[in-house]
Amino acid sequence: MNSVIMKSLHAMVHEAAVNHGDKTAAIFDTGASPASCLTYDQLLALGNELCKNVQGAVGENEQVIGVFCDVNILLPVWIFGVLQVPAAYVPLNPGSPPLLTMRIMDRCHLKFCLIQSTLLQQFQSAFSGLLSIEVFAAWSAHKLTLVKLHKNSLMSPEASNRRPMEDNQTLKTEQEERQHPSADAPGKELAYVLHTSGTTGLPKIVKVPHKCIVPNIVHLSSLFQMTPEDVVFLASPLTFDPSVVEMFLALSSGACLLMVPSAVRRMPGRLANVLFRRNTTTVLQATPTLLRRFGGRVLQEEILSAGSSLRVLALGGEVCPSLFVLNSWRQTGNKTRIYNLYGTTEVSCWACCHRLPDNLLFSDHMDNGSVPLGEPLMDTAVEVRDENGRLVTEGEGQVFIGGQERVCLLDGETMTAAKGVMRATGDWVMVQNSHLYYLGRKDRLVKRHGQMLHLDALQQAMERLPQVEAGVVGLHENSRLVAFVVPTIDTRTVSSEHSGNQEQHVHSSTKDSEDSRVSSRALEMEVLRGLSQLVPNHSIPDTVLLVPALPLTNHGKVAMEKLMRLYERQREVSDKHTRMGDMETVRERLQALWKECLGLCDDGVVTDDAHFMLSGGDSLQALRLFDYITVTMETASAGLLEVILDGSFSDVLKHITATHQNPIKTSGKRQAEDSASVVPSKRYHTEVDSNFDPEGILPPVVSSERSNMRFVVVRRAGGVVFWDYFLKREQRLVTNSTGASDNMDKIQENYPSAEPLFISKPSQQCNAGSGVTTQSGITKDSQPLGLQVCWSSDTGRCVDASPVLLIGPERATVFIGSHSHRLQALDLSSGEVVWERVLGDRLESSAAVSKCGTLVALGCYDGQVYFLSVASGETCWVFKTGDAVKSSPVVDPQTGLVIIGSHDGHVYALEPLVKRCVWTYYCGGGAVFSSPCVHSSPRRLYSATLRGQLHCLSPDSGKVLWTHCTDVPFFSSPSCSDSCVCIGSVNGQISALSHDGHMLWNFLTDGPVFSSPCLASLPPSTNQRTRAGAYDGCTTLSPAYQAVFCGSHDCSVYCINSADGSLLWRFQTTGKVYSSPFVFDGAPWGIRTLVAVASTDGTLWVLDGEQGTLKASFFLPGELFSSPIVWGHTIVVGCRNDYVYCLELTSRKE
């Protein structure tokens, strides 16, 4: 944009006020009481009146006037009034140390200061020993008091003696400055005076003329397309120059400036409520650290949701998050425009701006580490120079900023001397193809182990890890590299805490706290292992410290010094644990910690309804209280910091006692039983057991009555296995009209509609991850279907695991685990509990039934794989891995080996009958979250990792056959057909590879894919493609073919042709689809093929598998991450309201 004739800041506001007099200029909202409003007419009248009052009191020649205030509805009036004097305003933070504020006032030569009347006593108390203060005037309508500061006696002798040597030198410099009045620009030219942070030395005074800041306002108003309908949030304190942009973007456009108390700005939950529920914020400028404080759930579901009111998100003040991180914050369908702003206080405020294209955020390149700084803004010159001062057009160098008119005066500079100067920023960038990519500050480029290390680049790499919500790295005492990590909060848990009414919220939060104490050490090791795959060895931190949130400076940046003090304190007190006592002892101890963190006197009273943040606490003090509670009371949970920030003293006390007193423990009887049954782990055994013969596994010794036992196992993603144990290994019982055994006849007598799948050939039977629909010749019209709950079972905690069904001659049993540590065995027909076991930790792994049909196997958060008796639940064997086991086991149909992954990065092949580990395979550092998949012809085992690798192994030996590598983690589990293996990934792709490892096709959805694909055959008639999501001009397909059914976080279920990756249909749900679809025979309802699938909003869907049209739906009172299974007319699924549900699918009349 070309330079234009510039007005002053107050002239721009005056013009907007005249044109939009009756519109709301400002809102001050505490989040509790009704908001206060100020119209443009009121702003203009009160501002003019204040200007006249100040002129009458101090004259029109005063160049600078201090403003000592908190955020208030009259804040725009105060700033507008001072600017019209004309004078520059000097914002003074009431929360800053008095000596720091004193130094700023001294350096600015302040004679007069406007003080918010309610803060007058605080000002006098803080500075009476340092200044001679004279109350000059008081204006009740403006809630201001004007005081005069006598500069000839700015400091008492005692205070002067306390000044450090460097300050004495500075005072000498200032005295020299006062002898040269020309050093100051005339008051009418200056807009405001700030100071730098002083991180690299003493703070510098920065005097900012109108003609330096106005180009920012004009250009950004154009880029952001500001209108009078906008609502701009004042996110920055007055002492941080982005506040000038926020305030005058709104007030020069006739828009509304939204303000909140400083305490609310530090309370993420309450702040989100004010911004997006009580108001409709459209423009938000913030530091990335401030934005991260909201957490992933609030960012996705409110701030950057599909229906968010936010038009513009401008990130500045810190390094911009990577494209991958930014994309993870956005909900599918979000339309917010995101900008990266770059600038320095020395050339206030912004120098560059880059808008992130929407298509780039959702592209394959979204994991690129850096976002460009962007193009220079109006009247701004930007150069990159090397260490010798030469211009850099390609490669690394330091950024210099300046311009003929965009000139700020530092300390004693004159306007003539500063004009046209290019200021070194201390920021180093990489110039590539004319784009500038941020590397880090000069003082953040360090040499470690003889090699250069970019601390900010390491931070960006760390934030790409799935375990890291936010993080920062720094050098402690210039030697020890410390990474501070905010762990990723399980969004499912957070979501459940925020659902339902307030009573349910409190109940859910209390229960969630019971199970949230996951091993910190294990998570720290995961972070280190993840970084080892991304950065060189010299960049690996010495220490990883988990923190609940990153503390902020007053300007919204990471408070690195505070984190380092936290690290030092944690080291000091790590061995000083004390145990909790009774309820009254806990109350007394918490009160003492509360008062200590807030600096209250010992005899002060902490009432039950006291709020930490509203009592004067800040983010660091909240972190300190969290740390004290964690260390001295030996208790912590993912929700504790949130309660400290947003809750009362009583809420914190209840949270602590619930966390400590109500853990779900294993009975002594089970502990003794398990301890006796544990065999030594072979976790470090990496070769095939020399005694293992895959052809020589003998069946278990069973009675003659069960020697011909046959049974069916139903698992998620259409996995239906018909076991006939004594048949040859390559054979499987099929449910056609011939060859059915007596036992299978009995199964069909008890479950007459139990024909979910038609297994067309043995190779498909061996694939427990595929579902093949019946190919009956039904052609009658589809009938609407209904769902009704048959029974439900309370597990005590959220259910994320998927059910597994074992159908025998006498009974059908559902096995499912819960975050309550419980594994339940339920009768399918009645829902009665056959048996229940409480294991060592949370259960997210879905169970599997052994080949012999006598054991149920599943993984646990305690790092163990449990093998329990199907009949009684008694422990038969426990195998220990090195970390949590969230992967679900799979049974090799040929050998009977139970194969499972662990977060320790290994895949284990276990032989439960003889209680041994046959082989292990190390996946190269990535945790194995997804479940393995076995395919019989060709014989393959597939396992995927959070490192983004799909490993193809020999099921018999664990030998790797090939590996497919990506840059994004796999949460989806692989599924197979005879021709391919399919898997989804968080970059939104559903991919198919041949069994030799060649990529066949990629299908891109509009959101991350956590759902595991279900592969099934569709009847021939589907070669006439349907209208639902079909492309125009599609060709006729072969008479019989495989389809891939899979969900996505874009709130859709997809049906894809497995031959070429083309879309057959897409169904839009009302929530994200985390679960896996289950394809089954729809013959009993007059439909060829049906698909059952769940969305996270609690809806269970039944779709026509050929058309993609809705046949039935049912809303359950909780989120659904569990995958449904189908047998006969029943559907079973777990829910996050703690229950397992069995529903009946019925026909009903139109």
Cα separation, 452 vs 435, whole angstroms: 23
**What percent of the chain is modeled with pLDDT above 70?**
75
> Tokens 């709301």, residue?
24
* pLDDT at residue 571, as a whole number: 66
Judge whether 11 and 214 are in contact, CB under 8 Å: no
β-strands 64-68, 112-116 pairing: parallel
* pLDDT at residue 709, as a whole number: 47
Q: What is the mean pLDDT of residues 699-726?
A: 56
Cα separation, 374 vs 371, whole angstroms: 9
Cα separation, 1108 vs 1119, whole angstroms: 23
Q: Can you say whether the dihedral through the CA atoms of 302, 306, 307, 308 is positive or negative?
A: positive
Rg of the chain (C-alpha set):
33
When pLDDT is cut at 50, 70 and 90, the band that residue 684 belongs to is very low
Answer yes or no: is pLDDT of 992 > 90.
yes
**Both tokens assigned to 931:** 């479940």
Nearest CA among 177, 187, 181 for reference residue 65? 187
* Cis amide linkage into residue 938, ω under 30° from 0: yes
**Both tokens assigned to 1044:** 């891939």
Environment class of 897 (CB within 10 Å of its CB; exposed 0-12, middle 13-18, buried 19+)? buried
* pLDDT at residue 1029, as a whole number: 31
* pLDDT at residue 776, as a whole number: 31
Three-class SS of residue 733? coil
* pLDDT at residue 169, as a whole number: 37
Q: Tens of pLDDT along 844-860?
A: 899 999 888 889 999 99
Instruction: Output phi, psi for 870, to 5 deg.
Output: -60, -40
Answer yes or no: is pLDDT of 208 > 90.
yes
Cα separation, 97 vs 737, whole angstroms: 86
Q: Which helix (H) or strand (E) holds 87?
A: none
Distances 607 to 162, 250, 588, 590, 594 between C-alpha atoms, Å: 39, 40, 12, 12, 11
- 467 contact partners, CB below 8 Å, separation of at least 6: 485, 487, 488, 523, 526, 527, 530
Q: Which helix (H) or strand (E) holds 1128?
A: none
Q: What is the mean pLDDT of residues 898-910?
A: 92
Nearest CA among 259, 226, 271, 303 for reference residue 25? 259
Cα separation, 991 vs 968, whole angstroms: 13
Cα separation, 526 vs 546, whole angstroms: 12
Distances 591 to 196, 317, 513, 586, 619 between C-alpha atoms, Å: 38, 37, 21, 8, 18
**Following DSSP, what letter does each residue of 369-436 receive, concatenated?**
S--B--EEPTT-EEEEE-TTS-B-SSEEEEEEEE-SS---EETT--HHHHTTPEEEEEEEEEEETTEE
**Both tokens assigned to 354:** 């880059």
Comparison of pLDDT for 203 and 590, the residue scoring more: 590
143-175 as b/e: b if 16+ CB within 10 A:
bbbbbbbeeeebbeeebeeebeeebeebbeebe
Nearest CA among 971, 963, 964 for reference residue 987? 971
Q: Tens of pLDDT along 364-391?
A: 444 456 789 999 999 999 999 998 889 9
* pLDDT at residue 1036, as a whole number: 37
Q: Of 687-701, 776-790, 964-978, 1125-1139, where does mean pLDDT reach its minimum? A: 687-701
* pLDDT at residue 416, as a whole number: 64
Judge whether 192 and 349 are in contact, CB under 8 Å: no
* Cis amide linkage into residue 1014, ω under 30° from 0: no
When pLDDT is cut at 50, 70 and 90, the band that residue 536 belongs to is confident
* pLDDT at residue 522, as a whole number: 76
Nearest CA among 749, 721, 857 for reference residue 809? 749
Distances 155 to 161, 704, 842, 1014, 1080 between C-alpha atoms, Å: 10, 101, 63, 77, 84
**Both tokens assigned to 707:** 């020697």
* Cis amide linkage into residue 86, ω under 30° from 0: yes
| Side chain identity, residue 1050 | D
* pLDDT at residue 418, as a whole number: 61
Answer yes or no: is pLDDT of 156 > 70.
no
Answer yes or no: is pLDDT of 198 > 70.
no
Q: Which of 559-573, 691-705, 895-909: highest mean pLDDT?
A: 895-909
* pLDDT at residue 279, as a whole number: 96
Q: Tens of pLDDT along 481-530?
A: 899 998 876 523 333 333 333 333 333 333 343 344 345 767 887 888 78
Judge whether 1090 and 1108 are in contact, CB under 8 Å: no
Q: What is the mean pLDDT of residues 1106-1126?
A: 90
* pLDDT at residue 642, as a whole number: 66
pTM of the predicted model as reported, rounded to 2 decimal places: 0.51
Q: Of 654-668, 684-698, 893-907, 1073-1087, where does mean pLDDT reach its minimum? A: 684-698
Q: Tens of pLDDT along 449-480?
A: 556 678 888 888 888 888 888 889 988 876 67
* pLDDT at residue 628, as a whole number: 66
Cα separation, 793 vs 824, whole angstroms: 9
> Tokens 């580990």, residue?
917
* pLDDT at residue 502, as a whole number: 34
* pLDDT at residue 335, as a whole number: 94
Three-class SS of residue 351? coil
Q: Which helix (H) or strand (E) holds 750?
A: helix 742-750
**Both tokens assigned to 1014:** 């279900």
Answer yes or no: is pLDDT of 97 > 90.
no
Judge whether 414 and 428 are in contact, CB under 8 Å: no
Nearest CA among 1147, 1140, 1145, 1104 for reference residue 1122? 1140
Three-class SS of residue 1110? strand
Cα separation, 840 vs 817, whole angstroms: 12
Q: What is the mean pLDDT of residues 770-774?
A: 31
Cα separation, 685 vs 882, whole angstroms: 13
Judge whether 514 and 527 are in contact, CB under 8 Å: no
Cα separation, 124 vs 115, whole angstroms: 10
Comparison of pLDDT for 768 and 426, the residue scoring more: 426
Answer yes or no: is pLDDT of 161 > 70.
no
Q: Tens of pLDDT along 392-418?
A: 999 989 999 998 888 888 887 776 656
The average confidence (pLDDT) of the chain is: 78
Three-class SS of residue 44? helix
List the domains of the chain with CATH numbers: 9-448 (3.40.50.12780), 451-661 (3.30.300.30), 762-1147 (2.130.10.10)
